[in-house]
Amino acid sequence: MKFLDQAKIFVKSGDGGAGCVSFRREKYVAEGGPDGGDGGRGGDVWVECVNGLNTLIDYRYAQHFKAKIGTHGMGRNRTGAKGDDVVLRVPKGTEILEEDNETVIADLTDEGQRLLLMRGGNGGFGNAHFKTPTNQAPRHANPGQDGEEKWIWLRLKLIADSGLVGLPNAGKSTFLSAVSAAKPKIADYPFTTIHPNLGVCEIDGRGFVLADIPGLIEGAHEGTGLGDRFLGHVERCRVLLHLVDGSGLEDPADAYRTVRAELEAYGNGLADKPEIVCLSKADALAPELREERFAALEAACGQKPLIISSASGENIDTAQRMVIRAIDKDKEEEANSVPSSQEDTWRP
């Protein structure tokens, strides 16, 4: 199934039904009077977060969603039925944005979460509503109110415990395939990963979700390469697993600084997330070169990097255990922190 993480759609709530002009006409009932019913309200537009979806592909081939109009009022004071609602079903982690693609309307992160996006128009009053002592036979009714309409953006940000970041060909997809059952595309040229991949990793009876993000290059936060579009997928990750290619021609320190600079320039808290730095493809390094590049990367990142090899399995289990510990620590800090808005500031 094709991965689609962004879609622009048109939504419209239903128009209200028109009121009815009618008079009671029955045998043996003199001067029956007006009995026109009100129109029904138009259908609403809802957005619902559901389980079982991991892409916005449903909105690739259908971009217009319109709720039904309310049924018109009828004689004998019969009110029209309400129009059918439209429900947009989206995966967890979907943001609803205005047409400018910047203003966030809502962020749906929990299964079962529902958002009333637009209300349908009210139905018009029938002529029975306008009956007065001085106007006992009104011959007019109100039309229904128009529904709302606009273009919106749906943007999916994957919800994963940890995210893989690094330059192209840093070994991220190989690592994901080594620690999970995911089968991402792997090749010896850059940008083999053109959309995020998710894998479920399990070790020591514990599990976590790992997201493989397409490789970042210099200028990614400005739209260069694929990074600008996919950096949003690591916003929800608790821990970053930063892979630096140890076998490439590029200096590991420069490679690390390039990715860190893009994370800081993108903002949204990416640079502040816990980070585990790994020197990958260690099986292709001679002992002397391994020590040299380990020292250079350690000086650049300010922590002791982990030397790994997805091909030989070196330190793969250790990397997973480090990720689990970092996730647990982040959850503990989140549980212990109390938002300022929830603090009891009132005192008698």
End position of a domain, from candidates 124, 156, 188: 156
Chain centroid to CA 284: 39
Task: Say if 101 falls within a structural domain.
Answer: yes
- For residues 217 and 99, membership in a common domain is answered with no
Task: Say if 236 falls within a structural domain.
Answer: yes
Task: Say if 321 falls within a structural domain.
Answer: yes
| pLDDT score at 86 | 97
End position of a domain, from candidates 156, 191, 221: 156
Show pLDDT as tens, one digit a residue, over the chain (348 residues): 457 889 999 999 999 999 999 999 888 888 789 999 999 999 999 999 998 888 898 998 899 999 999 999 999 999 999 999 999 999 999 999 999 988 999 999 999 999 999 999 999 999 999 999 999 999 999 999 999 999 999 999 887 899 898 888 888 888 999 998 877 766 665 556 666 788 889 998 898 989 888 767 666 555 555 555 677 778 888 999 999 998 876 789 999 998 898 888 887 888 889 999 999 998 888 888 899 999 999 999 999 999 999 989 999 999 999 999 999 998 888 888 755 554 455 454
Task: Say if 346 falls within a structural domain.
Answer: no
Task: Say if 339 falls within a structural domain.
Answer: no
- For residues 91 and 215, membership in a common domain is answered with no
End position of a domain, from candidates 156, 172, 190: 156
- For residues 94 and 242, membership in a common domain is answered with no
Q: Which structural domain range is residue 2 located in?
A: 1-156
- For residues 41 and 116, membership in a common domain is answered with yes
- For residues 143 and 188, membership in a common domain is answered with no
Task: Say if 184 falls within a structural domain.
Answer: yes
| pLDDT score at 80 | 97
- For residues 135 and 45, membership in a common domain is answered with yes
- For residues 69 and 217, membership in a common domain is answered with no
CA distances 90 to 4, 67, 241, Å, are 12, 17, 28
Q: 184: which residues sit within 8 A by CB, 6+ positions away?
A: 173, 176, 177, 193, 197, 212
- For residues 221 and 300, membership in a common domain is answered with yes
- The count of domains in the chain is 2
**Which letter, b or e, does each residue of 145-176 get, where b requires 16 or more Cβ atoms within 10 Å of its Cβ?**
bbbbeeebbbbbbbbbbbbbbbbbbbbbbbbb
Task: Say if 220 falls within a structural domain.
Answer: yes
What CATH number did the domain enclosing 270 receive? 3.40.50.300
Q: Tell me the DSSP string of 31-86.
A: T--B-PPPPPPPPPEEEEE-SS--S-GGGTS--EEEPPPPPPPBTTTBPPPPPPPE
| pLDDT score at 222 | 56
- For residues 37 and 70, membership in a common domain is answered with yes
- For residues 33 and 175, membership in a common domain is answered with no
| pLDDT score at 194 | 62
Comparing C-alpha atoms, which of 99, 236, 231 is closest to residue 158? Answer: 236
- For residues 1 and 144, membership in a common domain is answered with yes
What CATH number did the domain enclosing 107 receive? 2.70.210.12
Task: Say if 286 falls within a structural domain.
Answer: yes
Angle at the Cα of 11 (from 10 to 14), degrees rounded to 5?
A: 145
Alpha-carbon gap, residue 265 to 220, rounded angstroms = 9
Which conformational region is residue 75 in: left (phi greater than 0), alpha (psi within -120 to 50 degrees), or beta?
Answer: beta
The amino acid present at 235, given as its one-letter code, is E
- For residues 129 and 260, membership in a common domain is answered with no
Contact 98, 44 (CB under 8 A): no
Q: Whole-model pTM?
A: 0.78
